Every structure is written in C-alpha cells, then in structure tokens.
Amino acid sequence: MQGIREGNPTLDPTINHQVDLGVKYATDRFYANASLFFSDLQDFINYYGYTRTVNGSSVNVRSYQNVHATLWGAEFGSQVSLPYDLYLRGSLSYAEGENQDANQPLAEIPPLRGTVALRYDVDSWFLEIAEHLSARQTRVDPNLQESSTAGWGITDLKGGFKYKAFALYAGVNNLFDKFYYNYLSYSRDPFASGYKVPENGRNFYVTASYRF
C-alpha cells in the first residue's frame, strides 16, 4: 500500500525573517549579478511522514507540521558579448535548508544547478546551444525517505526567425538523449509512487506566431 496524505488544519502561519544581499555590475559588453539570502523561518510548514495502523496494517502517512527552519542560498548570472554577434551566458544557483527542530536537512531542497549557453543573435534570427547541469543531491530528508539523485548534464539546442509580424521557433531538448532523473522526481504528484521517474529523452518542438 502506497500510503495516504492528510492535511493539518492546526498549522500556524510561517513567520520569515530574511536578509538579502545583491550586487550588480554592467558595461556595454559585460553584465553580472549575484545575490545571497538567509532566512530564519518560525513555524515553517514542513512536509513530513509517519506511520499509522489502519485495519491492523501499518500505513505510511504524509502530512504537514510546523518546525523551526533556516534556509540560505545564492544565485549568480552573467552575460558577455563576444565578437561576431556571439553572446556567452552563464548562471549558477544553490540553496540549503535545515530543519532545526530535527537537526537534519530540510526536505525538497534542490542541489547546485547551473547553465552555460552560447548564442548567435542578429536582428532577424538566432541560434543557441545550452548546457544544463545539476550536481548530485546529497542533502536529503531521512524522515521522508528521500534518496540521493545522481548529477546530470543535458544539452538543448534552439533557434528562431522573425520577419515583420511572423515568428518561428524550433529546438530540441536533451539533444544527446541523456537518461537521467531530476531531483525529487518521485515524491510529489503526479509521480508520487516513491519510484524515481526518468525525465524525457530527446524531444523536438516547433512553434509559430503571427501578431495582428
């Protein structure tokens, strides 16, 4: 039996005390921004699990509780203009949460992630290749029986063309048909079975639009 989910009408609202710090630098050819935050969360609404006996059988239950939690994270983004109408873009983000009451990692926090992209862009059309990267998720909540997810990297390719009011875009995601699992792909609906569900393989798309 998979288990049941139930609400908790006695929850108190979360009180968040947060500090943010951000910096930005820009020139005609270069742009970069970085931000850092720290949150102290009183009565944070935490997703957790326990077992209960139903008709003589032990059943896994998922519900919500108030806990004291801390959360911090950082983001970085940058773009540089290169010769020949090329643009190099990169981003990086990380967050870490702690359930202070249980002295264990906070549930459902993503690992280190980043993107590196190279784009050729002129007035009427563009072409871009991007590499999306995710580190291995090692900070997991043992109460929810979260399991580590391996790191991965996938490549996306896209392009677009504009002519007056008409625009056409096409691309391919996961260009090299990488087999991988996204973090926490097994814990929430619609894939809440507890079994890891792989992400899509190579897939193509085309979109067109016309503005009147």
Q: DSSP labels for 18-86?
A: EEEEEEEEE-SSEEEEEEEEEEEEEEEEEEEEEEEEETTEEEEEEEEEEEEEEEEEEEEEEEEEETTTE
Instruction: Summarize the confidence of residues 67-86 as an average pLDDT.
Output: 96
Would you say residue 192 has pLDDT above 60? Answer: no
State which residues form the domain around 152.
25-35+65-210
- Assigned domain for 110 exists: yes
Please indicate whether residue 153 or residue 143 has the higher confidence score (pLDDT).
Answer: 153
Q: Examine residue 20 and state whether it is found in any structural domain, yes or no.
A: no
pLDDT tens digits along 81-93? 999 999 999 999 9
Residue 18 lies in a domain: no
Percent of the chain whose predicted confidence (pLDDT) is above 90: 69
Q: Which two tokens stand for residue 130?
A: 């991007």
**Confidence bin at 107 (pLDDT 50/70/90):** confident
pLDDT(186) > 80: no
**Mean pLDDT of the region 173-180:** 95
Distance CA 77, CA 91 (A): 4
CA neighbours closer than 13 Å in the CB half-sphere of residue 105:
18
For position 18, what pLDDT does the model report? 97
Task: Report if residue 46 sits inside a domain.
Answer: no
Q: Is residue 103 part of a domain?
A: yes
Residue 76 inside a domain? The answer is: yes
Beta-strand pair 203-210/113-121: unpaired
> Two tokens at 206?
């085309």
For the chain, the domain total comes to 1
pLDDT digits (tens, 9 = 90+) for 146-158: 888 899 999 999 9
pTM surpassing 0.75?
yes
> Residue 45: pLDDT band by 50, 70, 90 thresholds?
very high
Q: Is residue 50 in some structural domain?
A: no
Which pLDDT band holds residue 185 (cuts at 50, 70, 90)? low
Q: What is the reported pLDDT for 190?
A: 47
